[in-house]
Amino acid sequence: MVMEVLSSPGKISMSNRCFARISGFIQSNFGIKLPEVKRTMVESRLQKRLRVLGLRSFDEYGDFVFSPEGISEELTHMVDLITTNKTDFFREPSHFNYLYNSVVPELIKKSGAGMRKPLRVWSAGCSSGEEPYSLAMVLSEYAARNPGFDFNILGTDISVRILEKALKGIYREEVAEPVPQPMRKKYLLRSRSREETLVRIKPALRSKVRFRRLNLMDPDPETRTPMDIIFCRNVIIYFERAVQEEIVRKLCRRLEEGGFLFLGHSETLHGMSLPLRVVAPMVYRKEL
């Protein structure tokens, strides 16, 4: 039997068997690759769950998390800790310019999306909300200059903790620095506590974004409403190539013909056979 060892005072290490069990489960259920080099990260992120639950080893933790009780309660905490939620307002800013100047006018011209019916945008893997709120700011600016234009945004993620943060829409002021000054004034409220200055998304902007938990590995996520635009940036980078292709194929099924898919800057679809063509760096259009 592999023994749990204390590698440094107070820090519990994970056995090979337990790491294989957790990483295998995460990869097959959520797509996220956890190769051996990620073991230290997994250990340190899950360490505090052992303390909270009063467990002495990761083997005990593994037995608990995969028990019927653990699956219904502890799994949510494990997923919250394992996912990497790094994000920013206006991350990869060229995408937001392209959206405003090219994508929205093109969709209005092609199908009237945004004018005859609200434009539908999905931020898949939205983390704590910075991406969908950036989209809401840009599209609100478009609406201010183009009467009759309307939109709604769906933000989804697998992590419950991060979605709670997104729903609140409250951030440290430094986090909002990438928001262009005129938009900060229009869409954010400042509030100062003794410790820090916070900004809050104004209710009118918040009302344009809905959030819900959704696993992109689900067989056919959210099949009902077809989307005009999907942002799925810096999410599939954590998946195996075959899984990336499978997920992008599902996203394509959710996209209207002529709709646009935005990916992160290091997520290439090169060599995959998908009904998409490149229209700008990491922007794809579903074939008409």
Ligand X SMILES: C[S@@+](CC[C@H](N)C(=O)[O-])C[C@H]1O[C@@H](n2cnc3c(N)ncnc32)[C@H](O)[C@@H]1O
State the nearest-atom distance from the C-beta of 81 to ligand X, in Å. 11
Nearest to 227 by CA among 245, 214, 242, 236: 214
Q: Do 267 and 282 form a contact (C-beta atoms < 8 A)?
A: yes
Residue located via tokens 């769950």: 49
Can you tell me the distance from the alpha carbon of 70 to that of 78, in angstroms, rounded to the nearest whole number? 10
Q: Do 86 and 126 form a contact (C-beta atoms < 8 A)?
A: no
Residue 244 near ligand X by CB under 6 A: no
State the nearest-atom distance from the C-beta of 254 to ligand X, in Å. 13
Residue 243 near ligand X by CB under 6 A: no
State the nearest-atom distance from the C-beta of 221 to ligand X, in Å. 8
Q: Do 202 and 188 form a contact (C-beta atoms < 8 A)?
A: yes
Residue 131 near ligand X by CB under 6 A: yes
Report the residue number, 32 or 229, with the smaller CB distance to ligand X.
Answer: 32
Residue 23 near ligand X by CB under 6 A: no
CA 217 to chain centre: 13
Residue 127 near ligand X by CB under 6 A: yes
Stretch binding ligand X (CB under 6 A), from 82-90, 140-148, 252-260, 276-284: 82-90
Residue 85 near ligand X by CB under 6 A: yes
CA 178 to chain centre: 18
Stretch binding ligand X (CB under 6 A), from 59-67, 79-87, 146-154, 274-282: 79-87
The size of the interface with ligand X (CB under 6 A), counted in residues, is 26
Q: Do 100 and 131 form a contact (C-beta atoms < 8 A)?
A: no
Stretch binding ligand X (CB under 6 A), from 50-58, 153-161, 178-186, 265-273: 153-161
Non-local (6+) Cβ contacts of 65 within 8 A are 22, 71, 74, 75, 78
Stretch binding ligand X (CB under 6 A), from 29-37, 39-47, 62-70, 276-284: 29-37
Can you tell me the distance from the alpha carbon of 288 to that of 107, in angstroms, rounded to the nearest whole number? 12
Q: Of the candidates 15, 76, 84, 102, which one interacts with ligand X according to CB under 6 A?
A: 84
State the nearest-atom distance from the C-beta of 189 to ligand X, in Å. 23
Query: In the Cβ-directed half-sphere of 150, how many Cα atoms lie within 13 Å?
Result: 7
State the nearest-atom distance from the C-beta of 216 to ligand X, in Å. 4
Letters for 178-217 (x = contact with ligand X by CB under 6 A, - = none) are ------------------------------------xxxx
Non-local (6+) Cβ contacts of 11 within 8 A are 43, 44, 47
Q: Could you list the residues that contact ligand X (CB under 6 A)?
A: 30-32, 83-88, 91, 125-127, 131, 157-159, 162, 214-217, 233-235, 264
